[in-house]
Amino acid sequence: MKLRSSQMLVNNNGEIIMGAGRMKILESIERTGSINKTAKALKMSYKTVWSKIKSTEKNFGKPVVLADKQKGTELTEDGRRLLKKYRQLKEHCIIADDMIFDDIFSHLTEFDV
């Protein structure tokens, strides 16, 4: 038995800034330099990917991608920073989750559960 939780960053109105899905979108854009390639890789429509990016930007209050027809698409400095900090948050939460889980469940046998 293991605990796996998910982390979601929201603004003060509860609107999503970043979650696991948006992390995958930004990671793919960082890797491919393309919203179209990201949409195909994640089996999403271009419109869905673009809508999630725009929603993140609106809720975050800063642009996270820069799309240029000549250069392709790249993360802005704020986008890279948001992605990096979200990855750190997830890593720390997993460590904390494991410690809390072990503290609560480590003394139980399979019959106690």
Distance CA 27, CA 18 (A): 12
pLDDT attached to residue 69: 85
pLDDT of 44 higher than 70: yes
Domain borders along the chain are: 15-105
Torsion angle of C-alpha atoms 85, 90, 95, 99, degrees rounded to 10: 120
In 3D, which of 92, 14, 12, 23 has the Cα closest to residue 52? 23
Query: In this structure, which topology does domain 15-105 adopt according to CATH?
Result: Arc Repressor Mutant, subunit A (1.10.10)
Q: What is the pLDDT of residues 66-112, one digit of tens each?
A: 998 888 999 999 999 999 999 999 999 999 999 999 989 887 755 55
Model pLDDT, residue 113: 53
**Predicted pLDDT at 35:** 95
